[in-house]
Amino acid sequence: MQLKSPFSSGSQVLAGLLLPAVVALSLSVFLLVRNAGGPLELAVLVATVVTLLLAMGAERLWPYRQEWNRAQGDLATDVSSAVVLVAMVDPLLKYLAPIVVVALYAHFNLSGLYATVLGQWPFLLQLFVVTLLIELGRYWAHRLHHQLPSLWWLHAMHHSSPRLYAFNNLRLHPLNYGVSFLVSVFPFILIGVPADVLLGYLAFTQPVVMLQHANLNARHGLLNYVFSTNELHRWHHSTKAGEANSNYGHALILWDQVFGTFRYCKGANAPESVGLFASSQARYPAGASYGAQLVSMFSRRCCVS
Ligand SMILES: [Zn+2]
Ligand SMILES: [Zn+2]
């Protein structure tokens, strides 16, 4: 049974320090590399991988649920999904996006829009504004994946995991990943946001996202009003739709507070169980292979949001 104490233990506080530490470190290193004219993509990649490894290590030290550290027939699906996203889908989107942008410029050229509006602002201010706006796009992309049945068919894959641990962060249908990219990041490429601002956004948010699904018994206190922490995201994976249709935030939780979907219990954020909603459990092949799950999304009997 989960202890619902309003007070945090020493280990919970210690585990909670991981998030601000990695965010601060990632952003600091990014700014140093930028000032030195170094490879920014590499700085983001290192921050992402190091955070993921730290999350996996911290799960062993301070698990929220011991049983979530044991594979439940889901490891192959999560590894397959991660490989497809990281090695195929993400590089493909980065390759195609500039081609599409150039094609669109033949009809309407928006490349100077960003430079005119924000381009002269200090870098950190640009980063702040762009982060808020990309997060707004991600918030609505995620929320619509819950509210529109045709998108829920894609998003059910992410919610089908029977446990929460660092690696199932990367269990996402490729089309779900693509739609989110199209709604959140692509418009900023279209209006000419410089690469260092977009990479700065990733340096700031990737550490948050890599910790978001961690099986970590952490208390984040006031940071729960800023970041989409693993405490908050646990509600989002509840099997009860009333609890799960909340905390849609990608890295920030601001837009949930603005649009009334923020869910946070100061004592303990402990849904009874995580996984698909009851309405989808009977139809979705949660135990099937990654390939079968990919295809099942297009079955008329797939899922109910
Ligand atoms: Zn969701
Ligand atoms: Zn999630």
| Nearest-ligand number for the alpha carbon of 161 | 2
**Secondary structure in 3-state letters for 239-292:** CCHHHHCCCCCCCECHHHHHHCCCCCCCCCCCCCCECCCHHHHCCCCCCCCHHH
Q: How many CA atoms lie within 13 A of 125 on its CB side?
A: 6
Compute, in angstroms, the gap from residue 105 CA to the centroid of ligand 1: 34
What are the 10-residue block averages of pLDDT along the chain, 305 residues in total? 57 87 98 97 97 95 93 89 95 93 86 86 96 97 93 90 91 95 94 95 97 94 96 94 93 98 87 84 79 83 74
Residue 17 alpha carbon to ligand 1 centre in Å: 25
Q: How far is the CA of 232 from the centre of ligand 2 (A)?
A: 10
Instruction: Say how far apart CA 154 and CA 159 lie, in whole Å.
Output: 10
Which ligand is closest to the CA of 171, given by its number? 2
How high is the pLDDT of residue 270? 83
Distance 236 CA to ligand 2 centre (A): 7
Dihedral sign, Cα of residue 195, residue 201, residue 204, residue 206: negative
Quick one: pLDDT at residue 3? 46
pLDDT at position 7: 59
* Amino acid sitting at position 183: V
- Ligand lying nearest the CA atom of residue 152: 1
Distance CA 76, CA 80 (A): 6
pLDDT of 6 reads: 55
Q: Output the CA 159–ligand 1 centroid distance in Å.
A: 6
- pLDDT at position 150, please? 86
Which H helix or E strand runs over 190? helix 186-190
Q: Distance, CA 236 to ligand 1 centroid (Å)?
A: 6
Q: What confidence score (pLDDT) does residue 1 get?
A: 42
